[in-house]
Amino acid sequence: MAETFDVDTPTLNRFVMASTHDHDLVILMNAIATSCKIITSAVQRAGISKLYGLAGETNSTGDDQKKLDILSNDIMINALVNSGVCSVLVSEENEDPIIVPAGKSGKFCVAFDPLDGSSNIDCNVSVGTIFSVYERSPGSGGTVDDLLRSGAHCICAGYVAYSSAVEMVFTFRGGDVHGFCLDSTIGEFVHTRVKMMFPEDGGKKIYSCNEGNSHWWDQAIKDSVETFKDEKNPYAARYVGSMVADIHRTILYGGIYLYPADAKSPKGKLRLLYEGIPMAMIIEQAGGIASTGMFNGKIQRVLDLVPDEIHAKCPIIMGGKRDVQAVYDQFTKQG
Ligand code: AHM
Ligand code: MG
């Protein structure tokens, strides 16, 4: 059979241009996509370029930074600062926000985790980039307060999975969720998944969490996971330990991902601005539920939380309705 060659490639750039009349947003998405292509190159050549291992620094949360963490962070900061459309950047790798100099400043505020899944970097297991985009508040010249707002103000969120293929998934506020695969032969992300939605019937029965923490979990979380291990029809346990990979699988196959609050980490582990909010927006707009579980005495949407600082943490229970409801049922039982 003769090979077909696409002369009308549906690229990410084309999709963004068709989806918005905001030229600055087109520039921003282009800068993010370009950063992720350069990070792809760094991730794929890490062994050859001797980029595995620690850089000898710690990040905002006190974690040891890997060489690839720092490199990916520099790649994103340089692209976003020079895009001319950003005023404030918050990165997992920088304790303080980055305020873009006046001459290059624009209307967007971007929070990102440049290379999420740090524990998987050195063993060539999937890692990812996560980002959320806010617009400056009216009248603001761009301060950190523009980002210290709930997910209701997030205008665009996405992630990129660096895996057997490189895939970007993103959504504009209120829109559908779309997936784009990086075609290395043309260096472009190509639209491959249109309107991503959780499987209607709940999909595969999969639970995904670091069960090594179960000793510190609340009873309701312990009971939920025990329920998933039903002896007649047990769920499968799948946990990569890279949020991007675990969430991507959860949307595509179904199931539930949990990183709950526990006695050791009462606010959970994951960070609200560049892990919780962007993933919650994608999950909800793909038809799932993104909840905190029981947090400060009530069950809340992750998108309703307001960060009190740029590296604020949040508990996360995300997935299809069938499976998150099973956890809610255990909270109800516990009263
Ligand atoms: P990181 O940003 O330092 O990589 O931490 C976030 C990661 C998530 O990708 C992942 O879901 C989680 O931490 C794994 O944590 P743990 O190793 O405690 O299971
Ligand atoms: Mg990280």
Q: Report CA(33)–ligand 1 centroid distance (Å).
A: 23
> pLDDT tens, 253-311?
999 999 999 999 999 999 999 999 999 999 999 999 999 999 999 999 999 999 999 99
Q: Whose CA is nearest to atom 15 of ligand 1?
A: 241
Whether 146 is a known active-site residue: answer: no
Whether 25 is a known active-site residue: answer: no
- Measuring CA to CA, how many Å separate 252 from each of 36, 84, 138, 247, 320? 22, 35, 37, 9, 10
Ligand 1 environment, Cβ below 6 A: 63, 92, 113, 116-119, 210, 241-243, 246, 269
What are the φ/ψ torsions at residue 248 (nearest 5 degrees)? -60, -45
Q: b or e along 85-102 (b: 16 or more beta carbons within 10 Å of the residue's beta carbon)?
A: bbbbbbbbbbeebbbbee
Q: Which of 43, 163, 242, 249 to mutate to test the pocket of ligand 1 (most atoms within 8 A of CB)?
A: 242
Domains of the chain: 12-195 (3.30.540.10), 206-334 (3.40.190.80)
Tokens of 198: 């959780």
93, 111 Cβ separation under 8 angstroms? no
Could you count the other beta carbons within 10 Å of the beta carbon of residue 4? 6
283, 302 Cβ separation under 8 angstroms? no
Q: Which helix H or strand E contains 324, and what residues bound it?
A: helix 321-334
Q: Report CA(127)–ligand 1 centroid distance (Å).
A: 10
Question: Which ligand is the nearest neighbour of the Cα of 258?
Answer: 1
Three-state DSSP at 242 gives: coil
Whether 188 is a known active-site residue: answer: no
ipTM exceeding the 0.85 mark: yes
Q: Whose CA is nearest to atom 7 of ligand 1?
A: 117
CA–CA gap between residue 307 and residue 14 (Å, rounded) = 34
> pLDDT tens, 200-227?
999 999 999 999 999 999 999 999 999 9
Q: Against a cut of 0.90, is the pTM above it?
A: yes
Whether 226 is a known active-site residue: answer: no
Three-state DSSP at 179 gives: strand
Tokens of 147: 């980002």
Beta pairing class for 105-116 and 188-193: unpaired
